[in-house]
Structures are given as structure tokens and as C-alpha cells.
A and B are shown apart, each in its own frame.
Chain A
């Protein structure tokens, strides 16, 4: 089946850029997503990218997709303490109905 992998932990200083990486195995993926989970809360959709795109920018967020290498990244510019959370990447597969989630990357932002 589909497998989505992320590193577990990332620590950055406030004001720096954060880059969270994700790899996936399903070459037929149509959409890829980034979700944010704040402590004690559910998952909130941050952004997504269609598989025929290389890049998508949305304010401080930049998503890069390398379809050849099956690599997805989320860059957060000017990272703030409020960005501290767990970030999940997810891949839409199985006739477009199921998401497979990565294990989540915990981002810690130090003042």
C-alpha cells in the first residue's frame, strides 16, 4: 500500500524559515496536503497542491512538489511561535477517496 514518511522533529528560531519534508510512494497520487495540528486539537487543512504543479505559494507558506522523486516540502517563512504544532502531510489515493497520512513532524519554534 501507500506509504508516506516524514521526519519526527524540527526546531527553528523565531523569524527563520522552516522546511518540513515528506516522501510518498504512490506515483498515481492526485492531490497532496499539509495539515496542522495544534496541541489538543484536531487537524486543520493548511494547504494542498495538485500533482501536476511544482509549486504553490500562499502567504508565508510555499509548497514544493518533486513528482519524479516523490518528495513534498512545506516552507514556512518568518516562522512564529504560533506556528509551533505538528504538521502532517497526506496523499490522496485509492480512486481519490482515501488519504494516507505521514507520521507528523513536530515543529518547535524558539523565541
Chain B
């Protein structure tokens, strides 16, 4: 069964900390995505990557950066965490040739910044 794995289900971090959220997929997908999900706002795209070392800003990139050194791993970095970054973070991947199958999502990481 194909999988997208996010390293943590729950995280609590302090304001100002540097935070790494990790996502690994085992499907050899080219495209990977980071979303945040907030009540009433749906899913908002933070960053995406269509190849190793390639990245593109999504709709809300401010306060975030990403790293894609290997095809299977896409990391989201909060350089200096703030309380307004408390949210559910979802990683997804999609292969270029997967046709109809949309995205495969990880289980999500619920981040609380105190």
C-alpha cells in the first residue's frame, strides 16, 4: 500500500524555535506539497516541489521554507515559530504519470506553538 508518512502526529513548540516537519513518500512521486488546514479556511497551499531541489511558493509561504534534497523527502521549516502558525499541517504527493489518482495525503501533524 502506498504511503505518505509525516514524522509526528502532534508537536508542541515554543515561540521563536526553529521547527522541522518531515514528510516521506514511498511512491517515487515527483510532486510533493505542504498545506496547512485551519477551521473555516480549508486547505491552503504553503509550498510545493515538482522535483529534487526544486520548490515553488504556494498561496501562504510567509514564515516558512522548504527543503527537498531527496525525491522521497519534503521538509517544511518554520524558521522562527509564532503562535499564528499553530495549525494542522498536511503533506501530499502526486506522480506526474498517476493520471486520475489525485494526491495521496499523510495523516497530518498538529502543531501547537506556545
Chain A residues engaging chain B, CB cutoff 8 angstroms: 8, 31, 33, 35, 40-45, 48, 50, 88, 90, 92, 97-99, 101-104
Contact of B100 among A31, A90, A98, A99 (CB under 8 A): A31
Residues of A within 8 A of B104 (CB): 45
Interface size class of B (residues with CB under 8 A): 20 to 34
Q: Is B16 positioned at the interface, with any CB of A under 8 Å from its CB?
A: no
Q: Is the CB of B50 within 8 A of A97?
A: yes
Q: Is the CB of B106 within 8 A of A42?
A: yes
Contact of A101 among B4, B6, B42, B50 (CB under 8 A): B42
Residues of B within 8 A of A102 (CB): 42
Tell me the bound Cα distance from A8 to B94 in angstroms: 27
Do A48 and B105 contact each other (CB < 8 Å), given the known contacts A43-B90, A103-B42, A104-B42?
no
Residues of B within 8 A of A97 (CB): 31, 50, 94, 96
Q: Is the CB of A92 within 8 A of B42?
A: no
Q: Is the CB of A43 within 8 A of B105?
A: yes
Contact residues of B between 56 and 114, Cβ < 8 Å to A: 90, 92, 94, 96, 100-108, 110
Q: Is B54 positioned at the interface, with any CB of A under 8 Å from its CB?
A: no
What's the nearest-Cβ distance from chain B to residue A28, in Å? 16
Q: Is the CB of A42 within 8 A of B90?
A: yes
Q: List 17 A-B contacts (CB under 8 A).
A: A8-B40, A35-B102, A40-B108, A40-B110, A41-B107, A41-B108, A42-B6, A43-B105, A44-B105, A45-B102, A48-B102, A88-B42, A90-B103, A97-B94, A99-B103, A103-B41, A104-B42
